[in-house]
Amino acid sequence: MDDKIHQPLGQNRKPGSNRAARSGHSWASLLLVSVAICAVIGTAGWMALSGGRIEGGNTVVMLEQPEPATTADPAGSTDGQPPAPGASGTPVTTPRTDGGLNSLHGRSGAEISTTLGENGEEINKITPVKRPDNRPVLLNPPGRVGQNPRLAHLPDPMVTEETAMGPLPVRGADGERAFDIYARPWSGARGTRVVIVVGGLGLSQTGTQYAIKTLPEEITLAFAANGNSLQRWMQEARRQGHEILLQVPFEPYDYPANDPGAGTLTVEAGADANLADLHTAMSRITNYTGITNFMGGRFLAEPDALEPVMRDLAERGIMFLDDGTSARSLTDQFAKTLGIPFAASDLVLDVTQERGYILSRLDDLERIARRNGTAIAVASAFEVSVDAIATWAEEAKARGIEIVSASAAADDPER
């Protein structure tokens, strides 16, 4: 007894006893970790196979695999078993009353439906669907405005129709419009807004290049339908951030002494010929929000000639910008009747191609904008016009004037 009391601590233990204790603790820890990992994997697998519910607030999102089609009998039952609305695990489908879509499909790559669960919570059910040829898709929200800047030079297939003549704008499956998709976004703030449209691009290669290089991106560019290398210059303009229009030639009063060029739409040609010429012009370029007239004093004042053209624009979802040179133009009346986005120019900047004159007209434009909130002007892509507009635009922005695109100033019945 005394000998044990005086022995140093630990000398009476058997060799290896501490090592055995430590080994026991290590094996226990490893066992607990393995059990936890198995539990996590099992839970994830259960959610993937059973369409688990991920809850956040009052909204439950269910991610499900595509389900095989079932046949419902006339009474609304499936496989002979009638559903039990409101029962556990059976959500009750309710129609959307906020104007939203119950299902977004086609190029979106998924079916999205909104239902109510047993406790009244909103459930968004997302089910993948097969896409034609398994092609990649672009996911875009309904009613979006503007393209991704990196893709702005490419036509959007959602609003493009391939025809024998070439690509033409068309309304998308869910009502999408080229007017919205190719529009240049703006701030939406109240204040003084100015639109400047510079036309005639494509007629002169050097003039077109100079205009795209010199003009601020807020300036809208209009490409002449009978110009050259239009698709090339369109892509360059879109890369630089410009919104664009297509400039279509219409018959003036003194035609053919005053000839707008090849493909001019005339009163005597008739609806079929004019629509063919219009579509030929429209197919030469893509990514425009609408068309504007080049001349056209007589044509735009003749309702029988103008109506088929305006109806075609309404069906295709693009705008019409009247350059304001014809006091008898009926484009505004047809636009209101047919629901076409419409805008009209307040003045022409470069009737006289002289810098001082153009700057004075730009000052007039600013006064109109400060009085009315918005003002629109048109000009041609002459070098003197381009230089004057570029200089004035920078100074105007410093005075608090916002330069916006043509689509931003349009009267749009669908907005």
pLDDT at 21: 46
Q: Describe the crossing of helices 383-398 and 205-214 by its angle, rounded to 10 degrees.
A: 10
Residue 335 token pair: 């636009």
Closest CA to 124 of 59, 58, 194, 46: 59
Residues 104 and 226 in one domain: no
329-345: string of b/e by CB count within 10 Å (b at 16+)? bbbeebbeebebbbbbb
Residues 196 and 317 in one domain: yes
Give helix then strand counts, H and E, for the chain. 11, 16
Counting Cβ atoms within 10 Å, is residue 25 exposed (0-12), middle (13-18) or buried (19+)? Answer: exposed
Give the chain's end-to-end CA distance (angstroms, integer). 101
pLDDT digits 0-9 by tens, 171-194: 999 999 999 999 999 998 889 999
Q: Which residues pair with 78 in a beta bridge?
A: 72, 81
Assess if residue 12 is contained within a domain: no
336, 341, 347, 350: CA torsion to nearest 10: -140
Residues 331 and 184 in one domain: yes
Residues 209 and 110 in one domain: no
Residues 331 and 268 in one domain: yes
pLDDT digits 0-9 by tens, 355-403: 999 999 999 999 999 999 999 999 999 999 999 999 999 999 999 999 9
Alpha-carbon separation of residue 133 from 68, 136, 357 (angstroms):
20, 9, 58
Residues 188 and 273 in one domain: yes
pLDDT at 67: 45
Three-class HEC string of 126-147? EEECCCHHHCCCCCCCCCCCCC
Q: How many domains does the chain have?
A: 2
Residues 129 and 249 in one domain: no
Residue 160 CA to residue 169 CA, distance in Å, equals 5
Residue 278 token pair: 């219009």
Residue 340 CA to residue 314 CA, distance in Å, equals 5
Of the three residues 139, 173, 203, the one that is the final residue of a domain is 139
| Look-up of token digits 């700057």 | 359
Assess if residue 257 is contained within a domain: yes
Assess if residue 48 is contained within a domain: no
Residue 288 CA to residue 224 CA, distance in Å, equals 12
pLDDT at 135: 52
Closest CA to 307 of 315, 246, 294: 315
Residues 162 and 120 in one domain: no
**Dihedral over Cα of 164, 170, 173, 176: its sign:** positive
Domain that holds residue 104: 90-139
State the DSSP H helix or E strand holding residue 378, giving kind and residue range, or none if neither.
Answer: strand 374-380
φ, ψ at 116 (rounded to 5°): -115, 135
Amino acid at position 211, single letter:
A
Assess if residue 303 is contained within a domain: yes
Residues 178 and 112 in one domain: no
Q: Which residues pair with 111 in a beta bridge?
A: 127
Assess if residue 215 is contained within a domain: yes
User: Is 158 within 8 Å of 172 (Cβ atoms)?
Assistant: yes
Q: Which 8-state DSSP code applies to residue 107?
A: G
Within 10 A of 201 (CB to CB), how many other CB atoms are there?
Answer: 26
pLDDT at 28: 55
Three-point CA angle 222, 218, 393, nearest 5°: 105
Residues of the chain with pLDDT under 70: 1-112, 118-122, 126-145
Question: Domain with 306 in it: what CATH number?
Answer: 3.20.20.370
Three-point CA angle 227, 303, 177, nearest 5°: 55
Assess if residue 371 is contained within a domain: yes
